[in-house]
Amino acid sequence: MKKYLALVLALAMAFSLAACGGNSAPTAPAATQAVEEATGSSIAVCLASEPDTLDPALNSAVDGATMLVHLFSGLAKWEQNESGALVIVPDAAEELVEGVENEDGTVTYTYTLREGMKWSDGKDVTAADFAYAWQRAASVDLAADYGYMFEVIDGYDDVWAEEPVEGAALNVKAVDDRTLEVTLANAVSYWNELLAFPTYFPVREDVVSNESWATDPKTYVCNGAYTITGWDHNSLITLEKNPNYVDADEILMDQIQVYLSDDANNMLTNFKNGEWQLIDDVPTNEIAALKEAYPDEFVVAGQIGTYYVCWNVNEEILPAGSGLEGAEAENARAEIRNAISLLFDRNYIVEDIAQGGQVPASSFVAMGMTNPDGSQFYKTAGSSEEFDGYYNVSPDALEDNFAQCVEVLKKYYDYDEATGMFSGFPTLTYLYNTSEGHKAIGEYLQSALAGVGITMNLENQEWATFLNTRKNGDYSIARNGWLADYNDPICFLDMWTTASGNNDVQFGKGAHKDVAVYSLDLTDLGYDVAVENGTWADTYDVLIKTIKGCTDNEVRYELMHRAEDLLMSTGCICPLYFYTDIYMLDDSVSGFFSNPLGYKYFMYCTTAA
């Protein structure tokens, strides 16, 4: 755990550096400067199976984001500086300017695009392309998963108002071809990091008017270091260096072959025979041997994220004929879900199944996110004085946790004292995407539930299908994972608002829309907000909006802790462990780096002859 904590704290420091620096003009990264002459010009990698989408406004997966940061140039980007630290630096913008505060509290930024910015088809990149892309990504019509990322921009509330506001739009405009002006609703500490996020990448209106533009190399137009020259669906995506990219002379890798597979055994075979230089998954049962056989190529990197189980909030788990209705029924479901979370041995999961240095998770906001005083956010989560977070995840607590779970379930289900089994619990189906690691964890969870008489079947789906099944709420219980989007705990919390496209739990949707069991009192913090037995929209949505409008950092972090308290009270989020990033990288490769979001960068890679 100490080694993992060191990795995460290093990433947190990188986040901190990124948030306060990176205002100089773009320079070649340390990896570029260290290599006088590139040798090999092609690298073969495998990140995952077929991506769900490569439209930057619609992507919500890490594998897709990794490809997008190679294909597009936003106003800012992640880079490695000379000391190896990860920082945010200007990309399409000449500089990352300071905002100017207006009399009404809004903050205006004015960016100048670099000269020579071109699309892959040779046309000029203009400020209007950025303005159009942001308006599109935030629009009700597109309903992008990450549309809420634009909530910080003035005008967003009018765009998404329940009663249509005529002419509503984000307060962003192209002053001329190279000048982009954007006004935020208030100061935002992580604004530069949002500019480096794929949802903020530009697209061209005439290109995306073809709804299938992002599925075919012939219609795919981008402005980054690479362009797509081949796409054999479910097999291979070929990225070639974009000669029209403004910094093309700094790109060392001419071609990236992105193989598409979710078969960890297939990945390992291709890595071992030298066909693929990086694989982003390995068979769980091979981990111990791989650590021994490939000490320099088997990599466990720090990552700020949480692996968890999520419940569909509208899944009925009460026994038939319970007689419970309304608020009483929903409170019972929450109590049951939270009780079941106590059944799972997180130490066994990380030590015997995952085996990658992960840390048992006691909260949803991941290790590595910090409070204003530098302390770990997760260590100050929850209300217990005996342990951090919302569960006691120490090995010594397992027996007590089990006993607590049983006592809660006895309130709602028939229990056989002789066998220790419950009856009357509806059969569950656990959904996971095809992966030996996810399957192994699912099988453990299945056995833990079976130990108390609860039947849970397992169902696996191919990655893109799985994403949409979960997003649509067509499941009862599913595996999930979330990596930080930027340097602020809010990126773990705002995804659960009613309108968020990442709200896989379906909070505030379907039958849950009218469930009024939640309370919120912010009067002690100076807000005129006090709700008793309100809906999700009345409470959680209001709380997140309050957080995003708060400029007092101490108050803001207290509000975020309260948001996590409310989220975890539902029992719909069951954290299992804090992530590490496990991958294998051939020792012939140099110049590779990754960032805390899980994105991997190959443009500055070279391979030994």
Number of other CB atoms surrounding residue 82 within 10 Å: 10
Q: How far from chain centre, in Å, is Cα 432? A: 17
Q: What DSSP letter does each residue of 526-560 carry, written as one string?
A: T---EEEEE-HIIIIIHHHHHHHH---HHHHHHHH
Distances (CA, A) of 293 to 146, 297, 350, 536, 585: 41, 9, 21, 51, 13
CB-based contact 230:80 (threshold 8 Å): no
Tell me, what amino acid is at 526?
A: G
Place of tokens 């913008």: 93
Return the pLDDT at 595.
87
Q: Which domains does the chain have, with CATH numbers?
A: 2-297+586-607 (3.40.190.10), 304-428+477-579 (3.10.105.10)
Measured in degrees and rounded to the nearest 5, phi and psi for residue 10 equal -65, -40
CB-based contact 297:589 (threshold 8 Å): no
DSSP state of 280: S
Distances (CA, A) of 57 to 121, 143, 605: 20, 10, 27
Number of other CB atoms surrounding residue 212 within 10 Å: 7
Return the pLDDT at 38.
40
Per-10-residue mean pLDDT for the chain, 609 residues long?
Answer: 47 44 39 40 95 96 96 96 91 98 97 97 98 98 96 96 91 98 96 97 98 96 98 97 96 97 96 97 94 96 94 96 94 98 98 95 96 95 95 96 98 97 97 95 98 98 95 97 94 97 97 97 97 98 97 96 98 97 96 91 92
Return the pLDDT at 299.
94
Q: Output the pTM of the full model.
A: 0.90
CB-based contact 517:531 (threshold 8 Å): no
Return the pLDDT at 83.
87
DSSP state of 123: P
Least Cα distance to 66 among 274, 229, 237, 203 occurs for 237
CB-based contact 170:136 (threshold 8 Å): no
Identify the bridge partners of residue 414 per DSSP, sorted by sequence position. Answer: 423
Return the pLDDT at 596.
79
* Cα distance between residue 241 and residue 252, in whole Å: 9
CB-based contact 155:131 (threshold 8 Å): no
Least Cα distance to 477 among 516, 440, 513, 427 occurs for 427
